[in-house]
Structure 1
Amino acid sequence: MAKTQLSALYLSLALGGAFCSPGLMAADAETDTKVAQVVSPQGEQVSINEATAEQLSAAMNGVGLKKAQAIVSYREQYGPFTAIEQLKEVPGLGNALVERNAARLKL
């Protein structure tokens, strides 16, 4: 799902579904279900061990698709994260970025 569509979904959910566009409603149901499983409508934390690059880039402040893909690649190469702080080991992610997003993330 595109970042703009995901943002529209979050806004729509936050406003009680009042502004949900028909194009977004017709989006792939499997993708929508997967997004709902990783990021709740209430804006709860996203799992760094389960989320896709698109979901990570949408949930994390200062993380675009390239850095989010680096997180996914690191996870695929080294296995699941055991601590949020391990994100500091991902190339392109620094202490400040990880600390800024720590509240948005879970294992």
Structure 2
Amino acid sequence: MHTFIKSLVLSLALCFPAFAAEPVNVNTADAATIASSLKGVGQSKAEAIVAYREKNGAFKNADELAKVQGIGDKTVAANRELILVESAPAKGR
């Protein structure tokens, strides 16, 4: 039983890095990547972010995400360290 508990603890410890969210560039990421990276943002909200970006151009800062329907200031604040707004590379390069 003692070996089982050690194995279980080790297994859980190794799993936690897989659940750690990675920063995401909201100017280049697809909806699935945004949904899996940002807290409180599911697939439909992530699709709204991509649609907004395609219609209005790249986000200049994280606060602009609050302009997307369904994304509020609290969601932006909760994810601020995970939101990147780097420019997309120019096409054809």
Give the TM-score of the pair, scaled to structure 1: 0.60
Answering whether residue 29 of structure 2 is matched by residue 51 of structure 1, we say yes
Deviation at 1:67, TM superposition (A): 0.2
- Once residues 70 and 54 of structure 1 are traced to their aligned partners in structure 2, the CA distance between those partners, rounded to angstroms, is 12
In structure 2, relative to structure 1, the CA distance for the partners of 1:77 and 1:88 (3 Å cut) is same
Larger Rg belongs to: 2
Match of 1:99 in 2: 77
Match of 2:52 in 1: 74
Match of 2:43 in 1: 65
The gaps in structure 1 that reach 5 residues or longer are: 1-10, 16-41
The gaps in structure 2 that reach 5 residues or longer are: 1-14, 86-93
- Identical aligned pairs, as a percentage? 34
- Once residues 44 and 66 of structure 1 are traced to their aligned partners in structure 2, the CA distance between those partners, rounded to angstroms, is 20
Deviation at 1:83, TM superposition (A): 0.8
3-state secondary structure, aligned to 2:80: helix
The amino acid that maps onto 1:77 is: K
Deviation at 1:44, TM superposition (A): 4.1
In structure 2, relative to structure 1, the CA distance for the partners of 1:64 and 1:43 (3 Å cut) is closer
Among 49, 57, 65, the alignment partner of 1:87 is 65
Deviation at 1:45, TM superposition (A): 1.4
The amino acid that maps onto 1:68 is: A
